[in-house]
Structure 1
Amino acid sequence: MTAPLNPPQPPHGKPDDSDPWQEPARAAGPVPEQAHEEDGPGMRTELRDAAVIAVAVAASGVLLGLLWLWLAPRVPLIADDKAVFLKDTEGEQAIGVDGTFTLLGLAFGVVAALVVFLVRRRGGIPLVVGLAAGSLLGAVLAWKVGVWAGPETDVVAHAKSVGQGVVFDAPMELKAKGVLLAWPVAAMVVQLALTGLFGPRDPEPFSSYDDGYRDPYGAPER
């Protein structure tokens, strides 16, 4: 007589540890909080942090506007009995006003991205969107603050108040509105670069399907 080919069945209710096809046992009870933390914050937390970052970055636009008003060159105007015109027709003060705003916007974008990265190294799409939106709002706010706190915007009334032949400063204005994008563009580029270089790395997948797997039937090697 020959022995039966089927292996003996384990007792009812007790898994056989030697079965290669057996599903691994799962730990009973709730999942530890540490497992959730390793997967990163939830979407609600990311949206909340993005909103806080957007408001904080936008509020710093007041400082940029004051610095722009302080550092930008003045455009001199002069008036006669007929019109108001530039005192120096070949001057480059107007270009300097836009250039100063652009440089300040780039600097604020780098600083904002660096601070946000140090606070939240994990990054994420909501954070980048919040940083970009806050930077754009901050740039617009800086422009409005500079115009509001700068020289009189009513050029005709200002010319009449100072009198004919008296030099006075033109109101603060941006000739090229595209400079408002300097801050958000710099912030996004620096944020993405810092996250890519120094941010946390995702676990690498298995190199192949066969890693860590052994055929229980001992298939011969080729």
Structure 2
Amino acid sequence: MTKAIRRIRPRLPWAMLVIPAAAGVPLGILWWLLAPGGLNLVTRDPAFGSGTNPNVWLPRDLTLAGLLVLAGCLLAVVLADRKRADPQADLVAGLAGALCGAALAWQTGLLAAQLWAPAVDASANASIAFSLRAWPVLLLWPAATAVSVFVLELLDLMSRKPAADHGSRRTQWQGQ
């Protein structure tokens, strides 16, 4: 009698894709709350409260950049955990989730500005409205995740003690 052999397919790490992507929603709201031109909870300076001041545009982008880098470092700590069944698939799914989460954070921040901020006449310049001028900022979350995972794995590799080398040439030659 022959037994049917079932091929076990590795399951996709959906949690590593969905959780970072879903984390983009609160991150986008936090961006609007903290950024100059948004609710401006960091400086509370009235000069930075409106997007009509061009000095607001760079700090607004840098606020999102800082939040995305922080999220990337936190995701890297989760991904560098040793108890994962398929760490490579988790890393790829985590990076894809981070990219989706960054785009979702950007769009959520823009939606929060449309819903809760006063209407702004952006006919002179589109950056007067709450927006992101530097789109490469969206790549910071996956980039920070990848670099942080690399550093954490490298530190883990360097902290391990080398295994006892029982079959080395030195021990073989000393025995002769």
- Report the alpha carbon displacement of residue 203 of structure 1 after superposing the two structures with TM: 7.1
Taking a change above 3 Å as real, the CA distance of residues 207 and 102 of structure 1, as seen in their structure-2 partners, is farther
2:146 is equivalent to residue 188 of structure 1:
yes
CA distance in 1, matches of 2:57, 2:75: 27
- Contact 1:68 1:146 (8 Å CA) reproduced: yes
Q: Give the letter for the 1:44 counterpart.
A: P
Mapped to 2, the partners of 1:65 and 1:191 lie a distance apart of: 24
Q: How far off its partner does 1:122 sit?
A: 6.9
Change (3 A) 1:206 1:54: farther
Normalising by structure 1, we get a TM-score of 0.55
The runs of 4+ residues in structure 1 deviating greater than 6 Å are 199-206, 209-212
1:68 matches 2:42: no
Counterpart of 2:41? none
Q: What is the identity, as a one-letter code, of the residue corresponding to 1:183?
A: W
1:107 aligned to which of 70, 73, 76:
70
Q: CA RMSD in A?
A: 3.4
Pair member with larger Rg: 1
Work out the CA distance in 1 between the residues paired with 2:86 and 2:152.
Answer: 10
1:195 deviates by: 2.2
The answer to which structure has the higher helix fraction is: 2
Q: How many residues were matched structurally?
A: 146
Q: Displacement of 1:158 after TM fit?
A: 4.8
Alignment of 1:1-222 (within 5 A): 44-45=10-11, 48-49=12-13, 51-74=14-37, 76=50, 86=52, 88=53, 91-118=54-81, 120=83, 124-151=87-114, 158-159=120-121, 170-198=128-156
Percent identity, aligned pairs only?
30
Q: Relative to total residues, which structure has the larger strand share, 1 or 2?
A: 1
